[in-house]
A and B are shown apart, each in its own frame.
Chain A
Amino acid sequence: MSIAQQTATGAVVLRTEHLGRRVGDVSVVTDISLDVYHGEMLGIVGVSGSGKSSLLRLLNRLDEPTSGTVFLDGQDYRQFSPRELRRRVGMVTQRPFLFPGKVAGNIRFGPSQRGEVVADEDIARLLERVGLPGFTAREVTNLSGGEQQRVSLARALANRPEILLLDEPTSALDEQAKMGVEQLICSLVKDTSLTCVMVTHDRDQARRMCDRIALLEAGRLIQYGKPAEVLDA
């Protein structure tokens, strides 16, 4: 499955303007300006240490930018409370970091922070959506790596995010699990028009999954465009 051929034509939902972050004397992200369109899958590609994950962590304000800012739906994201921002801009990390207990407890976690209760039918539907029907009462310790990552995805989706940040979501998985999660993410983006920003070091994966690609080197954006334009250049 590929959605790379889709053209991003929606409205800009996320914009970074001269975004940067310094840690001590080191600039880990430098002067990055880019737009993310509604319903597109934007890939952030680069070698290890190029600032991909650092950039992603700035988008939901897990780290604080030291220069520039991010606009969510045209508003400076500092105008939102961090919790509201992170509800709207969800995140799935390389390691799923599931909370101890049952799968259902993990799915309920995000909404419960706002006092919302997720109905059992909604949990079942979400788990079915990520390819884990009947997993509601399963203990997270009994899940495979691929299953854990799917639960992590369902947990992020339970918050009904407008944008989903994916930080190397398949890099800790074996080849079979990787292809399964990859297809799942592609179908989610296609079926629900979810906007995604995905970090990957795997150029082939970026080519398969992304509508556009931002290529980073030493914390700087060096190319930005369609996969063929960036990766074949």
Chain B
Amino acid sequence: MLKSLFHTQLTLGFAQAGIASVLALAVVLLARRRNIHLESDAAIALLRGIVQIVAVGSILALLLKSPRWTSVFLLTGMILAAGSISARRAKNIPGARKVSTYSIAAGAGLVTAIMTWAGVIDTAITSLIPVGSMIIANAMNTNGLALNRFRSEVLAHAGEIETALALGAAPEHTVASYAESSIHASLIPAIDNLRSLGIVWIPGLMTGMLLSGADPLYAAIYQFVVIAMILASSGLTSLLSTLMIRNHAFSPAEQLVLKSSG
């Protein structure tokens, strides 16, 4: 129906966004009848959402006309932002931002570089940026989960860690089991995503490929490729960040500096 009324993609898009927003607001009004007031939150979120995503779309539209190598700068900017965001999960651990940035850069950067070199990810900006951003975003989440879990484990077991230090143990040995459990816990979402792929959910990339007319079987296989890349980059990021952060929990004189009072 809308396609017959709107003849350009842009006006069609805004019309579709308008209908989706009306539907969302209708649910808000329905909730209001049950005395659940979401009006202002929902209105602000919808407005903010459309402004942000249109801004990103505009930047991408500009980048599409840029040379391919500009995507490297955009991906680097994303890695820096991801490092800063996920470091917030490691409150009180000195050097968490640096560790997060290096780990995400190594994990997401290496996997993206290898897959681009192998031809799995196309070097076109329209391919490299969306797939690269997915890999970086997932590496960021995994890094945040790993650091947060490590921090909680160390805080909960400070007595055991200091007892081991007092017996002459090396700092890295005293937190080895907590680092291992942090890596394991941080990778649960990535493993579950792979395990439930196609059964519980059909991810966005595959949906997008289907909507743009790609062969469904190829879209499905490529989605698996992306989720597997995410697992590889997340695993590498988690491994590196946990390895690096454990040294930041101690002073050069092998004293535990990550404490609840700190």
Binds A, one of B18-26, B163-171, B211-219: B163-171
Min CB–CB distance B40 → chain A (angstroms): 41
Other-chain contact of A97, B159, B169, B170, B254 (Cβ < 8 Å): B159
Whether A60 lies near B166 (C-beta < 8 A) is yes
Q: A64 touching B163 by the CB < 8 A rule?
A: no
Kindly identify which residue among A61, A64, A84, A156 contacts B167, using a CB–CB cutoff of 8 Å: A156
B260 → A minimal CB distance (Å): 13
Q: Which residues of B contact A84 (CB under 8 A)?
A: 168
Complex contact A97–B168 (CB within 8 A) = no
Complex CA gap A156/B169 in Å reads 12
A61–B165 Cα gap in the complex (Å)?
10
A109 close to B164 (CB less than 8 A): yes
Contacts of A78 in B (CB 8 A): 253
* Interface residues as binary, B134-170 with A (CB distance below 8 Å gives 1, 0 otherwise): 0000000000000000000000000110111111111
Q: In the complex where A97-B160, A99-B160 touch, is A90 in contact with B253 (Cβ < 8 A)? A: no
Which parts of A46-70 form the interface with B (CB within 8 Å)? 60-64
Size class of the B contact interface (CB-based, 8 Å): 10 to 19
Contacts of A97 in B (CB 8 A): 159-160, 163
Q: Find out whether the CB atom of A159 lies under 8 angstroms from the CB atom of B167.
A: yes
- The 11 sampled A-B contact pairs (Cβ below 8 Å) are A63-B255, A64-B253, A64-B255, A82-B254, A86-B168, A91-B166, A99-B160, A113-B167, A113-B168, A113-B173, A114-B168
| In the A-B complex, the 10 residue pairs with the closest CB atoms | A82-B254, A110-B167, A97-B163, A91-B166, A87-B168, A83-B168, A97-B159, A113-B168, A86-B168, A113-B169
0/1 string, B240-262, CB within 8 A of A gives 1: 00000000000101111000000
> Which A-chain residue is minimally distant from B261 (CB atoms)?
A23
Interface residue from B160, B165, B169, B173 paired with A62 (Cβ < 8 Å): B165
Among A63, A64, A99, A159, contact of B168 (Cβ-Cβ < 8 Å) = A159
A113-140 contacts to B (CB < 8 Å): 113-114
**Known contacts A113-B169, A159-B168; A82/B163 CB under 8 A:** no
Residues 72 to 94 of chain A near chain B (Cβ within 8 Å): 78, 82-84, 86-87, 90-91, 93
